[in-house]
């Protein structure tokens, strides 16, 4: 499958109070056309900073201090702001969690939805309006003709979010980056929008990067999963590998935190402790203060990524034992 996005050893740092701290510490991943990568982890783990780095939308005190971001083979970290803006309006689309900051309060919904269609497509005026109505229908907005004439403040928060999603999908982007896109919406609308993104992914070969903390959403939409903890990728794999054979203790903790819908009395088995501050230097594995399996080695040495399969990697010393076991098994056989 054709590769769309390739991120290599990304390090993103921030200057705060005269100090330079790294929020993303050597992150690598790739996304193919027609595939969804879900980035998961607790809030503050570096998921959103990773996507903002890719989009060239870091705040002024942030910078990519190492690594590369390639989109369709082109290096994005070297691009001018203006070129990045063009790319974002057209080939790469984004959906954020707070729609009010992203919609312009001055213009009608119709203007904001139809303007990009007029600029980026060859559709006639009537076709543009037809497509806008169709998109609003698809994101579950009733009475779309009326909505086109309204301003953002006349819509509920959930509706504004759906308008944002319609705008993001209007120009058939090749890459969609969505940060907790449906978190604020009720489950029916959430399912409808996830289905819509999934359809576009398949019909248009769109690549999707979705940031979420909801493992239910991951199970539904992901092809690949990347688990982040304290600025590191701790496990990557196909959705099957992550759900049926999770390796990293943090991934296991995240999966155990998913409530069992069949049992209303079951409590959430949360991971004890909390994420370290991004400026907190921790020796060894950054998860060790919270890990029930931590050994002396874990407290001293940061584990590398161990391969479990060609698509499945885990950054945990426990996996070294597995690999060594496999090797001695192989030796015993030969």
Tell me which residues touch Mg ion (CB under 5 A): 48
Q: In this chain, which of 87, 221, 298, 308 binds ligand SF4, going by CB under 6 A?
A: 298
Q: DSSP string spanning 21-51?
A: EEEEEEEEEEEETT-EEEEE-STTSSHHHHH
- Is residue 293 a contact residue for ligand SF4 (CB under 6 A)? yes
Report which of 225, 226, 165 is spatially closest to residue 190, judged by C-alpha positions: 165
Q: How far is the CB of 94 from Mg ion (least distance, A)?
A: 13
Which residues inside 132-191 make contact with ligand SF4, applying CB under 6 A?
none
CB 268 within 8 A of CB 306: no
Q: Is 246 exposed, middle or buried (0-12, 13-18, 19+ CB in 10 A)?
A: buried
Comparing CB distances to ligand SF4, the nearer of 162 and 290 is 290
- Residue range at the interface with ligand SF4 (CB under 6 A); choices 92-100, 205-213, 254-262, 314-322: 314-322
φ and ψ at 50, to 5 degrees?
-60, -45
Site residues (CB under 6 A) for ligand SF4, limited to 217-276: 248-249
Site string for ligand SF4, 51-80 (x = CB under 6 A): ------------------------------
State the DSSP code for 152.
G
Rounded to the nearest 10 degrees, the angle between the axes of helix 187-204 and helix 157-170 is: 0
What are the two backbone dihedrals, phi and then psi, of residue 199, each rounded to the nearest 5 degrees? Answer: -65, -45
In the bound state with Mg ion, the residue whose beta carbon lies nearer, of 48 and 93, is 48
Q: Residue 288 binds which one of ligand SF4, Mg ion, none, with CB within 5 to 8 A depending on kind? A: ligand SF4
Largest Cα span, the chain: 74
Select from Mg ion, ligand SF4, none the partner in contact with residue 48, using the beta carbon and a kind-dependent cut-off of 5 to 8 Å. Mg ion
Residues contributing to the site for ligand SF4 (CB under 6 A): 248-249, 285, 287-288, 291, 293-294, 298, 303, 316-318
């Amino acid at each position: 499958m054709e590769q769309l996005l390739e991120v290599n050893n990304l390090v993103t740092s921030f200057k705060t109070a005269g100090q330079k701290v790294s929020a993303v510490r050597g992150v690598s991943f790739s996304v193919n056309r027609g595939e969804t990568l879900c980035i998961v982890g607790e809030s503050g783990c570096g998921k959103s900073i990773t996507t903002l780095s890719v989009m060239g939308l870091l705040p002024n005190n942030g910078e990519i201090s190492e690594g590369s971001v390639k989109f369709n083979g082109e290096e994005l970290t070297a691009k001018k702001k203006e070129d990045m803006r063009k790319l974002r309006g057209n080939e790469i689309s984004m959906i954020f969690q707070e729609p009010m900051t992203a919609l312009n309060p001055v213009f009608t919904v119709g203007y904001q939805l139809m303007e990009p269609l007029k600029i980026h497509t060859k559709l006639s005026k009537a076709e543009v309006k037809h497509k806008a109505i169709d998109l609003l229908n698809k994101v579950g907005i009733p009475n779309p003709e009326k909505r086109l004439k309204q301003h953002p403040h006349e819509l509920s928060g959930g509706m504004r979010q759906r308008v944002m999603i319609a705008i993001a999908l209007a120009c058939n982007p090749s890459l969609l980056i969505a940060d907790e896109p449906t978190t604020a919406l009720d489950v029916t609308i959430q399912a409808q929008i996830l289905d819509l993104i999934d359809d576009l992914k398949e019909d248009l070969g769109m690549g999707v990067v979705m940031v979420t903390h909801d493992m239910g959403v991951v199970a539904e939409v992901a092809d690949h999963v990347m688990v982040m903890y304290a600025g590191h990728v701790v496990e990557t794999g196909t959705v099957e590998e992550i759900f049926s054979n999770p390796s990293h203790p943090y991934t296991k903790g995240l999966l155990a935190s998913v409530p069992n819908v069949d049992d209303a009395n079951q409590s959430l088995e949360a991971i004890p402790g909390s994420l370290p501050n991004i400026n907190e230097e921790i020796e060894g594995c950054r998860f060790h203060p919270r890990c029930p399996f931590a050994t002396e080695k874990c407290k001293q040495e940061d584990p590398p990524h161990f391969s479990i399969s060609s698509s499945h990697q885990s950054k945990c010393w426990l996996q070294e034992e597995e690999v060594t076991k496999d090797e001695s098994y192989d030796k015993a056989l030969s």
